[in-house]
Structure 1
Amino acid sequence: MRVEIWSDIACPWCYIGKARFEKGLAAFAHRDEVEVVHRSFELDPNAGEPTGLPVIQLLADKYGLSPDEAEAAEARVAQTARGEGLGYASGRLMNGSTFGLHRLLHHAKKRGPEAHTALLEAFYRANFADLLPLGDTETVVAVAASAGLEEAEVRGVLADEEAYADDVRADEREASALGATGVPFFVLDRRFGVSGGQPAEVFTQALEQAHAAGGGLVQVQASESAPVCEDGACAVPAHQY
């Protein structure tokens, strides 16, 4: 079975959803038969250079929240992340376009799934736990090097704006064709689509159903307990950011 996961580094629910999926996969009896493939998705394809503005301001502006309400929303997602054993610090900045990060992830994928996963996890930690500015080239180079990539290769990919650009765009077209409007978006053996950072047991159940079933894609939609990030930001339900 192949599980494809569309995600973006800027999406906290992708960070949380990855951890929850892995727990769900660990409880799946046929986990050794599962191939996991991470794919690219930009929440905001039109994002430009880093603005240096806090994410809290984005939440407040997008959803009409007061600063205190936006702070509380971010605190709730932080609590959820920590509940999954993930590092999550307050004070994230808007880092601008993630297109270059996705191109680097495709470069890492050429070295194998372990290299790709190591870089993805390094980017997530840098963004959410360490609050590193991933819109800064030197920071990105350092993070990629810490994940095992050669510094010269990383600089070469970042300098060539067309390097792996087609791969990123192909992933995004495929997500659109499958009906994804936000991330995280999980597709299990092209039989089941799971939208949002669902609880681990939902992923286990979906894996079991996909293993047993055939036919076309059936989607498990996001809910308040498993939001998606879309349209450049993340949903802010009443009780769970």
Structure 2
Amino acid sequence: MRVEIWSDISCPWCYVGKARFAQGLAAFAHAGEVEVVHRSYELDPHRPHGDSALMVDVLAREFGHTLDQAHAFQDRVSASARAEGLEYRTDVATHGNTFDIHRLLHHAKARGRQDALLTLVYRADFAEERSVFDPEVLVALALEAGLDEGEVRGVLADPAAHAEDVRADERQAAEVGVRGVPFFVIDRRYGTSGAQHADTFTHTLEQAWASRPLTSFGATEAATCGPDGTCSSPS
């Protein structure tokens, strides 16, 4: 069974959702038979490269929140992160253009180190005083994840390296109806959005496993219509 996870580095709920999904997967009886694939999604693709700012400032300045609302949002995310054993520092969490990071994650995927690098990048962005929008920080994180320094520098120096891989992920996101992240798709049949709790992920995996090998795809919370002409709304 394959689980595809669309996410962005600048998304705090993706950071929390990754941890919750890992817990839900660990409780799933067939976890060893699940392939997890991380896919690219940019929340702010039009932001200039190299332009980054503290998350709380971006929320207040660019997304219509008051400063108090931005701080309250950050506090909620921080509390949720701590509940999952994650550190989240509201004074360092940063937002910016993530295209180069996604390109590097595709390189890491080709080397079997994608999940390791993604974990390190999230931690650096949300819990440490290291800017993932600094190329030298990215190189250091990649080395920590077990990647080759020369290859990493080559990817970052070549804007075309893995660029099409990122775009392909984003085209697929549009095809399956991703409108926000994190978004989880199981075998292209089940979709669930958001940083659900671990037990919800486990239940969804169990449902997907039990229903194999159905071939229809649908979001778990979407309205449906049956062959008798009746339609239902999500509860």
TM-score (norm 1): 0.86
Distance 2:187 2:98 in 1: 27
Partner of 1:87: 87
Query: CA offsets, 1:159-193, max 9 Å, x none?
Result: 00000001110011001100001110100111100
- Are 1:132 and 2:159 counterparts? no
1:218 Cα offset (Å): 2.0
What do you get for the CA RMSD once the two structures are aligned? 1.6
Partner of 1:198: 196
1:142 Cα offset (Å): 1.2
Describe the shift of the 1:189–1:151 C-alpha distance in structure 2 as closer, same or farther (beyond 3 A): same
Partner of 1:146: 144
More displaced 10-residue stretch of structure 1: 135-144 or 173-182: 135-144
Larger Rg: 2
Partner of 1:164: 162
Partner of 2:56: 56
Aligned length: 220
Describe the shift of the 1:87–1:138 C-alpha distance in structure 2 as closer, same or farther (beyond 3 A): same
Query: CA offsets, 1:134-167, max 9 Å, x none?
Result: 1111111111111111211111100000000011
Query: CA offsets, 1:35-55, max 9 Å, x none?
Result: 111111111111213445321
Describe the shift of the 1:157–1:66 C-alpha distance in structure 2 as closer, same or farther (beyond 3 A): same
SS in 2 for 1:39: strand
Provide the identity percentage: 56
- Are 1:28 and 2:16 counterparts? no
Distance 1:181 1:221 in 2: 14
1:220 Cα offset (Å): 3.0
Distance 2:139 2:43 in 1: 22
Distance 1:208 1:53 in 2: 40
SS in 2 for 1:205: helix
1:110 Cα offset (Å): 1.1
1:93 Cα offset (Å): 5.5
Partner of 2:75: 75
Describe the shift of the 1:164–1:63 C-alpha distance in structure 2 as closer, same or farther (beyond 3 A): closer
SS in 1 for 2:96: coil
1:68 Cα offset (Å): 2.1
- Residue 218 of structure 1 aligns with an amino acid whose one-letter code is G
1:64 Cα offset (Å): 3.2
Q: Does the Cα contact within 8 Å between 1:50 and 1:97 map onto a contact in 2? A: yes
Partner of 1:14: 14
Distance 1:68 1:22 in 2: 32
SS in 1 for 2:53: coil
Distance 1:206 1:96 in 2: 32
Structure 1 unpaired stretches of 5+: 223-241
Q: Does the Cα contact within 8 Å between 1:56 and 1:70 map onto a contact in 2? A: yes
More displaced 10-residue stretch of structure 1: 130-139 or 153-162: 130-139
